[in-house]
Amino acid sequence: MRLWLLFSVCLALQDLSSFTRIRFEHTHHRHWSARSGYTQFVHHLDPRRFGTLLHSTSDGDGDLAWLRPAWPLLRALTRRGRMPWYHLSDLNAELLALASCLAGRTDIVHFLDGENSPQFLPRFVRVAHLSKIRTVVTFHQPPRLARELVNGDLLRWIDHVLLVSPTQLPFFLRYVAEDRLHVILHGVDVEFFRPPEVRRDTSYFRCVTVGYWLREWNVLRQIVSALPEMRFDVVTGAETGLSGLANVHVHRSVDDATLAELYRNVDALLLPLIDSTANNALLEGMASGLPVVATDLPAVRTYLPDDGGVLVPNNSVEGFVTALQSLRQDVPLRHAMGGRTRARAEELAWPRLVPEYEALYTRVLGGAPTRPSRSRSH
């Protein structure tokens, strides 16, 4: 009996030693869907191994109005890091995360939106010799924007940098050692975004465009004008210049259920893009079994199967128009493409990706903390 009790205590202590507490800092944007986006993987981590706290911060300073008297000084402080998307709310999030670290409640702080934060915490935990704390930061923007949004000197204090597309690697390798860089592709909820049980073929062809960031609205306007016989649903909060066109329906403030149903009732996903790394609309459309007609970008190719759509070089309006006309005329082709995009989305379902995060956290926590030196770009 005593041996069994001792054995049970040893097992309990072993389980406790392998339990990792992760604090996630996340910048919330009002237009984001509750069923898509990068935070979704957090809910799939194994609760027996990982204790999680997801803290959401507004994109701005509005939730810190009580600090208004000190704003000039605080703004000067936040601007020191040369991070134009860093706000007072991000400073507040870092202070809360620091308090959690100092209280011994956190093992890893994972900043999910690296272009917004962090600016101070990774440096502080190293300078203060908080050797048990690790920092992980995910970056989402393409290199052309990262050059303006990311302070390379701050990257050397981060224990591990996560990316969502291989196209980001060349920029970050200038500042971060290869063993501290990792790409984990973005995922999607394939249970919520799914094809209809029976896809109805109508007399008209209907496309959907979703989102606003890095969208090429001028190209979309030309496509819509060239195809008056087709219908276009546009889900966005942006000013598109599409108002007044009879074959366009602009949807604003759409809830998750309505968005998922809209995907199930159209024939193709249309995405003229300026640039991309990971794209929620692309993944949602793929999970909904839609063929894709999108701008030919390396990051899009990473996510989209070769035979799951048509990629148009250089945002050629003629190329988009030809691709859409071909899909309209060939129903079996678009159904076959939709089947392939759905299969690819299932490969990127969050439960399938989460083991990569779990392995990364275990490795980061078990390794030595980063030892900053001069920036690798010098």
pLDDT tens-digit series, residues 341-368 = 999 999 999 999 999 999 999 999 999 8
pLDDT digits (tens, 9 = 90+) for 79-107: 666 888 988 888 889 999 999 999 999 99
Answer yes or no: is pLDDT of 265 > 80: yes
**pLDDT score of 224 more than 50:** yes
Residue located via tokens 């093992």: 107
Which pLDDT does position 214 carry in this prediction?
A: 96
* Segment of 10-14, 35-39, 245-249, 250-254 carrying the highest mean pLDDT: 245-249
In this structure, what are the phi and psi dihedrals at residue 53, rounded to the nearest 5 degrees? -135, 120
Q: Which pLDDT band, with edges at 50, 70 and 90, does 73 fall under? A: low
pLDDT score, position 10: 41
Above pLDDT 90, what percent of the chain?
73
- In whole numbers, what is the pLDDT of the chain averaged over residues? 89
So what's the pLDDT on residue 234? 97
Instruction: Give exposure, 133-171, as e/b (b: 16+ Cβ within 10 Å).
Output: bbbbbbbbbbbebbeebbebbbbbbbbbbbbbbebbeeb
The kind and range of the H/E element at 96 are helix 88-102
What is the per-residue pLDDT for 36?
A: 84
pLDDT, tens digit (0-9, with 9 covering 90-100), for 140-198: 999 999 999 999 999 999 999 999 999 999 999 999 999 999 999 999 999 999 999 88
Q: Which CATH superfamily is domain 16-187+351-366 in?
A: Glycogen Phosphorylase B; (3.40.50.2000)
Say what the pLDDT of residue 31 is.
61
What confidence score (pLDDT) does residue 12 get? Answer: 43
Dist. CA 149–CA 161, nearest whole Å: 15
pTM for this one? 0.90
Inter-residue contact 125 to 100 (CB < 8 Å): no
Confidence of residue 32 (pLDDT cuts 50, 70, 90): low
What are the tokens at 43?
Answer: 């809910």
The residue-averaged pLDDT of 210-231 equals 96
DSSP letter assigned to residue 252: -
pLDDT at 277: 97
Got the DSSP string for 113-132?
-TTT--SSHHHHHHHTT-TT
Cα 38-44-49 angle, rounded to 5 deg: 125
Q: Which residue has the tokens 């995910």?
A: 138
pLDDT at 132 over 80: yes
Question: What distances in angstroms separate CA 340 from CA 208, 307, 331, 334, one per listed residue?
Answer: 18, 7, 14, 10
Tokens of 247: 């074959």
Confidence of residue 3 (pLDDT cuts 50, 70, 90): very low
Predicted pLDDT at 362? 97
The residue that leads in pLDDT, 372 or 145, is 145
Report pLDDT digits (tens) over 302-346.
999 989 999 999 999 999 999 999 999 999 999 999 999 999 999
Is the separation of the CB atoms in 302 and 166 below 8 Å? Answer: yes
pLDDT at 324: 98
pLDDT for 81: 66
C-alpha pair distances (Å), 91 with each of 52, 53, 88, 115, 119: 21, 18, 5, 13, 8
Q: Please, how many CA atoms are within 13 Å of residue 241, restricted to the half-sphere of its CB?
A: 11
Return d(Cα 270, Cα 160) in angstroms, integer. 35
Domains 16-187+351-366 and 206-348 share a fold: yes
How many other CB atoms sit within 10 Å of the CB of residue 90? 27
Tell me what the mean pLDDT of segment 237-246 comes to: 88
φ, ψ for residue 248, nearest 5 deg: -120, 135
Can you give the pLDDT at residue 77?
65
Domain ranges of the chain: 16-187+351-366, 206-348
CATH fold for domain 206-348: Rossmann fold (3.40.50)
Sheet containing 160-163: order of strands: 50-58, 20-28, 108-111, 134-139, 160-163, 181-183
